[in-house]
Amino acid sequence: MADIVDRATRSRMMSGIKGYNTKPEMIIRKALHKLGYRYRLHDKRLPGKPDLVFSSRNAVIFIHGCFWHKHDCHLFKWPSTRVKFWKEKILGNFQRDKKIKLTLKKLNIKNLTIWECSLKGKTRLSREDLVSEIVSWLENNDRQNMEIRGM
């Protein structure tokens, strides 16, 4: 299927997509802050510059967009234009995510990945359920690496 906008418009639209302070990130940050959790943002000293860093808990949270990080859900679809470019881009992100998680594991830092589909789309979780899952993970030292995705 051909794109519904011209190439220049699509380029402008894609370049406007932010890598941090996204809507899903802000929702989670506000909910956790309201509950009294304090964190650092995008710490460059850690692999992958996690979205939220809980130093005292030795834990980090990544909030991933399903498209950009190749999540196997209804929100991810391979683009039909510039196929080679997008495959390299998205698979590169996917491989980098794997390496980052392995490095964090070696550093004994637990990590949580929250997928965009848990916040939007037909499989989203209720805000209460999502926040409850995050808090449970933060409070439980036994749960090292975890993902939260849509139902």
Contact indicator for 89, 118 with CB cutoff of 8 Å: no
Which residue reads 């359920």 in tokens? Answer: 129
17 has pLDDT over 70: no
Q: Is residue 136 part of a domain?
A: yes
For residues 97 and 83, give the distance between their C-alpha atoms in angstroms, rounded to a whole number: 21
Q: 109 or 14: whose pLDDT is higher?
A: 109
* pLDDT above 80 (res 45): yes
Does 89 fall in a domain? yes
pLDDT category of residue 144 using cuts at 50, 70 and 90: confident
Kindly tell me if the per-residue pLDDT of 92 is higher than 90.
Answer: yes
State which residues form the domain around 110.
19-148
- Note the pLDDT of residue 24: 92
Q: Which long-range contacts (CB under 8 A, 24 or more apart) does 47-54 make?
A: 47/99, 47/100, 47/103, 47/104, 47/107, 48/96, 48/97, 48/100, 48/104, 50/111, 51/20, 51/25, 52/28, 54/138
Q: Name the domain count of the chain.
A: 1
Question: For position 34, what pLDDT does the model report?
Answer: 97
**Percentage of residues of the chain with pLDDT beyond 70:** 91
Instruction: Please check whether residue 140 lies inside any domain of the structure.
Output: yes
For residue 77, the domain's CATH number is 3.40.960.10
Q: Is the pLDDT of residue 96 over 90?
A: yes
Per-residue confidence (pLDDT) for residue 6, from 0 to 100:
80
> What does pTM read for this prediction?
0.87
Q: Could you tell me if residue 1 is inside a domain? A: no
Instruction: Name 147's Cβ contacts closer than 8 Å, sequence gap at least 6.
Output: 112, 113, 114, 115
| pLDDT value of residue 1 | 53
Contact of 37 with 138, CB cutoff 8 Å: yes
Whether 127 is covered by a domain: the verdict is: yes
Is residue 126 in some structural domain? yes
Q: Between these two residues, 9 and 10, which has the higher pLDDT value?
A: 9
Residue 148: which pLDDT band, with cuts at 50, 70 and 90?
very high
Instruction: Look at residue 7 and tell me whether its pLDDT is greater than 90.
Output: no
DSSP SS3 for 55: helix
- Beta-bridge partner residues of 111: 60, 145
In a domain, 11, yes or no: no
Pick from 6-10, 16-20, 48-52 the range whose average pLDDT is largest: 48-52
